[in-house]
């Protein structure tokens, strides 16, 4: 299959040419480096007519740079071990949004990953074959450098918009990252921790209350400790998922102590499918904290000691 030589162009997946060419075969990146198949004129015209600037699949890191330029954006990393409720959290919020739920007076106005959202949410719907709703399947494990990223466009009554990005990554990444930050199969988790504006850490109450509670507690604590090394002041929330099953008070206190020790500003919230609105309230809470971007660090010019003329900063400065 022919493919553009520009690594940031995904025209071969159905997107438009990233350099703006209506016919991607007219782009120098395509014609000079890739052998072009012989395509008749009619097929070419059809390709141009139906080509769109998005594929509806989950986004990658290259897509973020394009969308970040279009307006204010918030990137939220979902962290947690395998089967802790991250994908269910995404599906529940998407279904609430498309049914009219508002976040901070903002409502759903579109998405460039509708196909990815629908593939996640379809499991929670009743289809024509009378299939009963179920939880979304486990996110496949891989060694990609970045997770799948889901996009939401939110708009208020004054037509002010925000781009919201949420990660959908396999829990094995974060379990491995917590043990070895430089492991080859934890690169995606490391990237998520470095790039996110805010974090949601998922605690599986059902597992913490069951026979595997020791393993679940250890996995959760190591993830909290690892994130604490780099989180800084970024908004963070611990999500007690599947909260209709509560762990023992001792286990819950131990996790809360780890959270207080490593991420003291983190907040806690409980979610359960028994109360669907709990998912939207949790997401709205983290969005509220990340809504106003942090100010940039002030630029400090170094004092040059080798050239007195350039080192002068005014009579009030001390050399």
pLDDT, mean of residues 239-258: 94
Does 177 lie in the same domain as 154? yes
User: What residues make up the domain containing 213?
Assistant: 61-290
Lowest mean pLDDT among 49-58, 87-96, 263-272: 49-58
pLDDT, mean of residues 266-271: 96
Q: Give the residue, 53 or 170, on which the prediction is more confident.
A: 170
Compute the distance between CA of residue 104 and CA of residue 290 in angstroms, rounded to an integer: 12
Would residue 315 count as lying in a domain? no
Compute the distance between CA of residue 141 and CA of residue 83 in angstroms, rounded to an integer: 12
Lowest mean pLDDT among 5-19, 221-235, 237-251: 5-19
Q: Note whether 163 and 73 are within 8 A (CB).
A: yes
* pLDDT at position 42 over 50: no
pLDDT, mean of residues 300-317: 58
pLDDT, mean of residues 147-161: 86
Does 113 lie in the same domain as 16? no
pLDDT bucket at 209, cuts 50 / 70 / 90 = very high
Q: Note whether 37 and 2 are within 8 A (CB).
A: yes
Helix (H, G, I), strand (E, B) or coil at 302: coil
Does 114 lie in the same domain as 41? no
Does 207 lie in the same domain as 97? yes
Lowest mean pLDDT among 36-40, 155-159, 297-301: 36-40
Number of neighbouring beta carbons within 10 Å of residue 42:
8
Q: What pLDDT, on a 0 to 100 scale, did the predictor assign at position 127?
A: 55
pLDDT bucket at 235, cuts 50 / 70 / 90 = very high
Lowest mean pLDDT among 239-243, 245-249, 298-302: 298-302
Instruction: Count Cα neighbours of 147 within 13 Å in the Cβ-side half-sphere.
Output: 33
CATH of the domain at 260: 3.40.50.300
* Predicted model pTM: 0.73
Q: What pLDDT, on a 0 to 100 scale, did the predictor assign at position 132?
A: 45
Does 120 lie in the same domain as 20? no
Compute the distance between CA of residue 167 and CA of residue 200 in angstroms, rounded to an integer: 10
Q: Note whether 196 and 75 are within 8 A (CB).
A: yes
Would residue 214 count as lying in a domain? yes
């Amino acid at each position: 299959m022919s493919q553009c030589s520009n690594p940031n162009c995904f025209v071969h997946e159905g997107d438009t040419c990233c350099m703006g060419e209506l016919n991607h075969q007219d782009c120098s990146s395509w014609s000079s480096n890739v052998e072009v198949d012989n395509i008749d004129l009619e097929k070419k015209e059809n390709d141009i007519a139906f080509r769109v600037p998005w594929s509806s699949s989950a986004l990658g890191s290259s897509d973020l740079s394009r969308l970040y330029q279009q307006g204010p954006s918030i990137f939220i990393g979902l962290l947690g071990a395998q089967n802790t409720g991250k994908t269910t959290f995404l599906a529940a919020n998407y279904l609430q949004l498309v049914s009219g739920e508002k976040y901070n007076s903002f409502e759903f106005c579109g998405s460039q990953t509708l196909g990815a959202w629908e593939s996640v949410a379809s499991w929670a719907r009743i289809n024509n074959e009378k299939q009963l709703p179920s939880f979304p399947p486990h996110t496949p494990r891989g060694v990609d450098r970045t997770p799948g990223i889901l996009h939401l466009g939110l708009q208020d009554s004054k037509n002010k918009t925000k781009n919201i990005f949420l990660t959908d990554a396999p829990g094995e990444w974060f379990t491995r990252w917590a043990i070895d930050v430089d492991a080859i199969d934890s690169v995606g988790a490391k990237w998520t921790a470095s790039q996110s504006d805010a974090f949601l850490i998922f605690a599986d109450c059902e597992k913490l209350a069951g026979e595997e509670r020791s393993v679940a507690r250890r996995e959760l604590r190591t993830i909290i400790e690892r994130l604490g090394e780099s989180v800084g002041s970024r908004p963070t929330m611990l999500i007690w998922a599947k909260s209709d099953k509560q762990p023992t008070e001792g286990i819950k206190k131990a996790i809360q102590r780890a959270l207080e020790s490593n991420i003291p500003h983190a907040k806690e919230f409980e979610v359960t499918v028994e109360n669907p609105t709990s998912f939207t309230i949790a997401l709205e809470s983290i969005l509220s904290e990340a809504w106003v971007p942090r100010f940039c660090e002030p630029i400090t010019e170094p004092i040059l000691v080798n050239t007195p003329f350039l080192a002068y900063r005014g009579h009030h400065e001390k050399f």
